[in-house]
Structure 1
């Protein structure tokens, strides 16, 4: 009698997970408890497969939408719900009686009927999400094939099955190339140019063929800026020698007499000798700390290898600068040995710096024999003076210069003079404010910022723009 239901339209509710299916009954297998629908609709959308098969375990509710009956007999009828209204079904028809007396009547779901079977304990009903395809063993089971065909129809991609809208695949692909060919870019840009000319637009835009893209290096600024002026410092009486910084800025040299005038004006405006000595000491000590290894050498874990610096100073302003540098080095845990011969009369600035230096606990010697015999880490030379030449004939000067040349330690000279060749050959020389035309024995030249204001430079006729940037000590190169 199951074959009498073939061709009938039914609606099968499989719960919220699998949804509702409608279609024409194509086969009913009582032995495997399966029913197959052809031309099915899933939740109102036509399925991409021609036939689906359901197991009785997955069916929550079954509704008859239309029954194909050859001869309708007179008598009482049973109503089946449909989308177009109730349909009169004769009750005395044998197929109707069989359907009404069947345990798979649509009034109860299979799970509810299974729990009501006499003689069996009630048990929970578990929904199998894919049982209709994996457990179908009856007629026309819906199982995937290795060749990508499902029940004679090509399989759709998994994403299409999950997220597709169920529409037919007969839609034509959009012709992007053909649509792009309809766009006349040259005409559009020409129209834009014409519109901008009418509105007196300040910006003109050409076609892509007319535009030449500008290529920038990784270190170039893409924003339009003013051209760099590398000669930002000009002096009224430039020397024969010029230097340049790492960024290419030109730094001219000045004579010692011109520098004396510049410092005199600066002192008149408040930049006293004591301030200049402090700035020189700080900058020189910072450079010396870098030469000694900086953070790689001066660490709390490296106290057993503290660097040793020997300071050779004379009784003049250069010597006071060296004493100030030694004080700052001693404050940074550097082993400092200061050599300063005993004089009956010294400058007030030297005496003042020496009094402060004595509070650091660093070593002060006046005899060359008290200097270490082994090489030190760094020698700072402040023996020479800009204005006096008689010091070179003094025994202490010769002895100190001879010790420095034989110690085999690198030498840093602070503010060396330009009047003569240096007795102690230096590896580095530190100039103040603006460089002096130093001799070849001065080594590599560095420039130190001692805090002279721009107005002071302008007063002495110097067009000045600071070349230091973010630093107080910068290296100079021969231009």
Structure 2
């Protein structure tokens, strides 16, 4: 009896995953519970396969769109028996139902699937003798598109023929689609592959070196030694850099021996003065504002610096710093009292400073009365502390303390003086001296002493400067 339904046009709903198929029944197999369609349409699009076979398990709903003319009309025993056989094939799906439409002629069956697909309906068209508005509309649209079998209508059916409104109101079945994915099997395969790879990697661990990530160091990490400078007499005052390196202080006698050894190696006093002048001027330019202050467009706001110098080596270092500041466009005022006899290094530095056409005064009365941008103090002397008792020293120190400008002291002496200048910044040379506890910020300047010179005086030395020539020091 299944052969009586061959040639009928049906619509098979296989759910959201497989979709909806329409086509002509080509075979029905009771033993395997399958049904085959030839020239099928899948969701309104012509399938590239000439025939598709469905199992009763996959069928959710089966509808008859047209019945071949050879089939008995509904209501007869043969039709009822065939309907029962089809129902038995589709009964295993969920919500299966079979709707038997009216029997149409063989001429209408050729175009009925296309018409029904284009309209998105699942019921059979009306009888040939009905003259309702639907049939008139179909005839009118068919004439406009070049007939029932015209190419325009065929394209229209392929694009809009699917019954898209059937499941538009239903929610998407996430659990049903997720159940189609066998997670346990996939995870077991992944675990087996990962275990085999781990075993393979462990077997070759002795032959192949371990790989590193982009943020890992390929070199073997060594512990950082923060105490890289040791002195013959430890236990004095110590400082530390921004990186945590320990910089111990040295007494003035050891510092003096270090400078004398450097001169024997070739680091003459003139070289040391020039290096000190360059580094101290660079620090002063930074304190004055650097590129934000010293620009060609800012010629009306040039910074003013006052240098307080004495007739000794520390004074010569200050004069060298003033010369470099003047060369960089800073308004420099040099205070240096008139002495009958001064050291040769001071005389030569003053002569070079005179080439900058900057101002030089010998009396405190000639210093600016208004506050300046920076005061550089080079009044103290390591060899002659009695200079602090002279009138010119006391007058210059009083002027610096009364002026509201910040003070930078270059190579100050150890201890606190009765009339010393209150400095905001202190610049030490080579290695710091054990300065008294003050609120001043201590900086260290690299004056170019080689490593072998430090070893000669018993200091194990490794440069803490890194990429800079002036670094800050902190009290731990």
Contact 1:449 1:473 in 2 (8 A): yes
Q: TM-score normalised to the size of structure 1? A: 0.62
Give unmatched runs, 5+ long, in structure 2. Answer: 1-38, 52-143, 166-179
Separation in structure 1 between the aligned mates of residue 381 and residue 361 of structure 2, nearest angstrom: 20
Report the counterpart of residue 89 of structure 2 in structure 1. Answer: none
- Per-residue CA deviations over 1:66-124 (Å, capped at 9, x if unaligned) read xxxxxxxxxxxxxxxxxxxxxxxxxxxxxxxxxxxxxxxxxxxxxxxxxxxxxxxxxxx
Change in 2 beyond 3 A, CA 1:244/1:461: same
Cα distance change on mapping 1:451 and 1:136 into 2, 3 Å: farther
- Indicate how the Cα distance of structure 1 residues 186 and 436 shifts in structure 2: closer, same or farther if over 3 A, else same: same
Aligned residues: 329
For residue 461 of structure 1, report the CA deviation from its aligned partner: 1.6
Distance 1:49 1:351, change over 3 A: farther
Distance 1:221 1:290, change over 3 A: farther
Quick check: 1:233–1:462 contact (8 Å CA) kept in 2?
yes
Q: CA 1:255/1:176 → structure 2, altered by over 3 Å: closer, same or farther? A: same
190 and 310 in structure 1: CA distance in 2 versus 1, 3 angstrom threshold: closer
Match of 2:188 in 1: 181
- Aligned-pair distance for 1:450? 0.2
User: 1:416 touches 1:442 (CA, 8 Å); kept in 2?
Assistant: no
User: What does residue 470 of structure 1 align with?
Assistant: 467
Residues 1:448 and 2:458 are matched in the alignment:
no
- Distance in 1 separating the partners of 2:399 and 2:195: 85
Provide the residue aligned with 1:150 in structure 2: 160
Question: Which residue, 238, 244, 253 being the options, matches 1:242?
Answer: 238
Give the whole-Å Cα distance in 2 for the aligned partners of 1:350 and 1:144: 104
1:179 CA displacement = 3.6
CA distance in 2, matches of 1:360, 1:445: 30
Whole-angstrom distance in 1 between the partners of 2:374 and 2:285: 10
Structure 2 distance, partners of 1:221, 1:445, is 35
- One of 387, 393, 396 as aligned partner of 1:391: 387
Shift in Å, 1:142 = 4.0
Cα displacement (A) at 1:419: 3.8
Q: Distance in 2 between matches of 1:320 and 1:382?
A: 8
CA distance in 2, matches of 1:469, 1:354: 33
Aligned counterpart, 1:340: 336
Q: What CA deviation, in whole Å up to 9, does each residue of 1:196-226 have, x standing for no partner?
A: 48xx558689xxxxxxx9998xxx9686421
* Change beyond 3 A, Cα 1:391–1:144: farther
Partners of 1:433 and 1:376 lie apart in 2 by 29
CA distance in 1, matches of 2:217, 2:311: 51
Task: Structure 1: give runs of 5+ residues left out of the alignment.
Answer: 1-37, 51-134, 156-172, 206-212
Selected match of 2:221 from 222, 225, 228: 225
Aligned pairs (5 A) from 1:331-370: 331-370=327-366
The aligned counterpart of 1:139 is 148
| 1:223-302 equivalence runs, <5 A | 224-302=220-298
User: Structure 1: how far apart are the matches of 2:467 and 2:353?
Assistant: 29
- Aligned-pair CA distance for 1:239: 4.8
CA contact (8 A) 1:242 1:250 kept: yes
CA apart distance, 1:457: 1.1
Greater helix share, 1 or 2? 2
TM-score (norm 2): 0.62
String of CA shifts for 1:220-264, please: whole Å, max 9, x gaps. Answer: 968642111111111111352110111111111001100111111
